[in-house]
Amino acid sequence: ILVDEARTPLIISGPAEESTDKYYKAYEISKKMKGRRITEKDEVDAKYKEIDLSEGYDYLADEKAKSISLTETGEEKAAQLFGIDNLHEMETIEYRHHILQALKAQEFFVIDVDYVIRDKQVIIVDEFTGRMMPGRRWSDGLHQAVEAKEGIKIERENQTLATITFQNYFRLYDKLSGMTGTAVTEETEFKQIYDLNCIVIPTNKQLQRINYPDAIYKSLNGKYKAIVAEIEELHKEGRPVLVGTISIEKSELLSRMLTQKGIKHQVLNAKYHDREAHIIAQAGRYKAVTIATNMAGRGTDIVLGGNAEFLAKTIVDEKINNPDDENERNELTEKFITQFRQKVKEEQSQVLEVGGLHVIGTERHESRRIDNQLRGRQGRQGDPGSSRFYVSLEDDLMRLFASDRIIGMMDRFGMEEDQVLEAPILSRALENAQKRVEGHNFEIRKHLLEFDDVMNKQREVIYNMRRDILESSNIKNLVLEAIDETVRAAVQQYLFVGTEEEKWDFEGLHVYLKAKFNFDIANLHDKFKDMSQDDVNTFLIEHMMKHYEQRETEIGTEHLRYLEKMLFLNTIDAKWKDHLYAMDQLKEGVGLRSYGQRNPLIEYKKEGFEMFQMMYSSINQEVAEIIFKIQPVDRSSSRPRGVFSALPKKLVHDEVSGMADARRQAAASGPAPASQTPSATTPATSPVRSSGPKVGRNDPCPCGSGRKYKKCCGQ
């Protein structure tokens, strides 16, 4: 969790109101586009040979980064197929997002490797453990793109409500510690990120395992033939064999090859996860052959000779007459355990004589830690055992990260498909390739953390504010501060923008206060001329406070306190959700600033801070606005929640706004005004209507500034 999963942030999400048809359309368009897969070597060669990799293609798929980039031809083709002019307008940018996700699903996400289909649902398979992760979904529409690819029902896209990286989540704890057998390879990261030291504890008993050098082949076909041949030979000797694969697809391929050879075996992968404990418990039996994904790589001891308790349980489940009779079950279990203990003991002696458990790795994982976990299944507690990894030049790790020296060396040797090469220099080269991958993944995690540290500061402010409101029974002072801040900001914006009175926008301030707070200052123009900015602020704030006291009398002190608390909480939630989306959009595009010789992280910090300030101010503004617009209801009702019949619909969080709403939020220079549509639960006797003029968000602002309402008084 601290390392492997730290590349993916923790996200709490809610459903967004968006049509799912566009995902099917994006997938259909993606099938009509011509792509080219490129590796790091291709990019280097293209640079020196001055070759345009994009020529003749609609998109490029970078296997190492798992990213898609559209070419100019591809941009035009996608826009044409979508029936739009281009993919870069504010109204059409989401089309570009959907086509990129559809192409990513098509190029990089493979069934029975990255996911499985269960009950007409796409379920993610954990790349590190090989286990299914029901309930988890890829974000940013990627999961929907995979569903469209598989032709199954598309669930609506979720929008982020809260997010935090694993690193910052675990930093919230005062103390952090852990125990594992494979942490040494990541000790630098533990120190840099978590300030944790790694201490190696000596083994309880001396190791007797033998780790053979890697067997390297030119092709996948030659490698798998050699694996099957070794399994066949060991099976004849009686040695138990555990074969580790990196995906369901590879485990089933090997299973078919062994079946053709007539070798009995067990398969353990995400499809058969319910039999995991039983399969692993018997993987150490005489002549046992077990093919497993990374599920078998951790957390389970393989006992040489088998496990008497599990053998007994299996027989009892078959023979018991009444499954609900616990006494009968316990008696039968004890009886069979006694019988199997002797059998297991005999088998254990046989297995020890032939050399213990042998582990075969069908390819190197991108992390040395995962390989070490697989190796650690044998030779436990002083038992004998051995392991060997098989590698081919067609493995993903070798294609993407291995140096050209290895490939060149095998070509010079003129190796055939089924010819093996074992050499310490090649094993070291493989280890270096893994180190490169680990370094690459560490940079991804560090980069993610640097950007999340910016959000972390903002998160602390918002969460502390929210917690204070939740724990407080009276937040009147917060509301008064919100009113004070809103008035001062309005005066600063409309009146004292310059030293000359001609530059004052008195009419704009009048329209703003009338629309937002139903406060008319039409007759105060001359009075303000002789006042300083502080005097104007004081005058308006005093009048607003009197207005607020009237509101308190109309609504009732108890009801207003309750309303203020719920109003603040709902507004914080809504604004924070939109802010998270806007920050995600900023993070996606800020990388391009590097072309202008600007540091993307610094740019992200600077603009993120400005956006946070705007969001924070908009919370106060919206709370103040609704407090003055809310209408009292019949107080004969004994339930205080009756006050909420006047709340705007946007504060009801049964569902959250989708991408379109968030995009409009990002496009405007300030938050959108609260909708005046009453909630679905609003009694017909107490409708709420704005006392200010009804102005569309894209209409010219009535203040006469010439700007759109949403970018002026509608902020």
- Please give the full DSSP string across 408-455, using - where no structure is assigned: HHHHHHT--TT--B--HHHHHHHHHHHHHHHHHHHHHHHHHHHHHHHH
Instruction: Give bridge partners of residue 115 from the DSSP assignment.
Output: 111, 124
What is each CA distance from 97 to 55, 387, 448, in whole angstroms? Answer: 22, 45, 20
In contact, 383 and 208? CB cutoff 8 Å? yes
What is each CA distance from 340 to 333, 337, 344, 390, in whole angstroms? Answer: 10, 5, 6, 36
- Residue 402's pLDDT band (boundaries 50, 70, 90)? low
- The maximal CA–CA distance of the chain, rounded, in angstroms, is 105
- CATH code assigned to 447-681: 1.10.3060.10
Q: What is the pLDDT of residues 135-170, one digit of tens each?
A: 888 888 899 999 999 998 888 777 778 888 888 898
pLDDT (average), residues 58-79 = 88
pLDDT (average), residues 606-619 = 92
Residue 661 to residue 284: CA distance in whole angstroms: 58
What is the pLDDT, as a whole number, of residue 274?
A: 67
- 3-state class (DSSP) for residue 273: helix
List the structure tokens of 659: 């991408």
Residue 695 to residue 701: CA distance in whole angstroms: 8
Higher-confidence position of 315 and 467? 467
266-280, 435-449, 576-590, 642-656: lowest mean pLDDT where?
642-656
Mean of pLDDT over the chain: 79
Domain ranges of the chain: 17-156, 208-427, 447-681
List the structure tokens of 41: 């070597």
List the structure tokens of 633: 């209801």
Dihedral angle, C-alpha 190, 196, 197, 201, nearest 10 °: -90
**Shortest CA distance to 239 belongs to which of 186, 291, 289?**
289
Show Cβ contacts of residue 521 under 8 Å, excluding neighbours closer than 6 positions: 509, 510, 513, 514, 540
78-92, 207-221, 262-276, 410-424: lowest mean pLDDT where?
410-424
**Amino acid, single-letter form, for residue 205:** K
In contact, 396 and 423? CB cutoff 8 Å? no
**Amino acid, single-letter form, for residue 105:** A
Give CATH superfamily name and number for 17-156.
SecA, preprotein cross-linking domain (3.90.1440.10)
Q: What is the pLDDT of residues 341-365, one digit of tens each?
A: 888 888 889 999 999 999 999 988 8
The pairing of strands 208-211 and 35-38 is: unpaired
Beta strand residue intervals within 71-174, DSSP E: 115-118, 121-124, 158-164
Q: Is the pTM of this model over 0.85?
A: no
Q: To 5 degrees, how large is the angle CA 621–CA 710–CA 83?
A: 135
- 3-state class (DSSP) for residue 682: coil
Name the DSSP letter for residue 315. H
Tell me how far the alpha carbon of residue 335 is from its chain's centroid: 50
- Residue 317's pLDDT band (boundaries 50, 70, 90)? confident
Show Cβ contacts of residue 119 under 8 Å, excluding neighbours closer than 6 positions: none
257-266, 296-305, 328-337, 665-674: lowest mean pLDDT where?
665-674
The pairing of strands 115-118 and 121-124 is: antiparallel
**Shortest CA distance to 480 belongs to which of 401, 560, 384?**
560
Name the DSSP letter for residue 708. B
**Shortest CA distance to 537 belongs to which of 523, 553, 521?**
521
Q: What is the pLDDT of residues 614-640, one digit of tens each?
A: 999 999 889 988 888 877 655 454 444
In contact, 392 and 218? CB cutoff 8 Å? yes
What is the pLDDT, as a whole number, of residue 670?
A: 40
- Residue 710's pLDDT band (boundaries 50, 70, 90)? low
Higher-confidence position of 544 and 275? 544
Please give the CATH topology (third level) of the domain spanning 208-427: Rossmann fold (3.40.50)
What is the pLDDT, as a whole number, of residue 666?
A: 40
In contact, 220 and 395? CB cutoff 8 Å? yes
In contact, 240 and 353? CB cutoff 8 Å? no
Higher-confidence position of 523 and 501? 523
What is the pLDDT, as a whole number, of residue 673?
A: 37
Dihedral angle, C-alpha 613, 614, 616, 619, nearest 10 °: 170
**Amino acid, single-letter form, for residue 112:** D
- 3-state class (DSSP) for residue 27: helix
DSSP calls for 343-411: HHHHHHHHHHHTTSEEEEESS--SSHHHHHHHHTTSSGGG-EEEEEEEEETTSHHHHHHS-HHHHHHHH
Residue 180 to residue 171: CA distance in whole angstroms: 19
pLDDT (average), residues 301-329 = 74
List the structure tokens of 492: 């600063």
What is the pLDDT, as a whole number, of residue 661?
A: 42
Residue 665 has pLDDT above 60, yes or no: no
The highest-confidence range among 315-319, 357-361, 471-475, 686-690, by mean pLDDT, is 357-361
275-289, 475-489, 648-662: lowest mean pLDDT where?
648-662
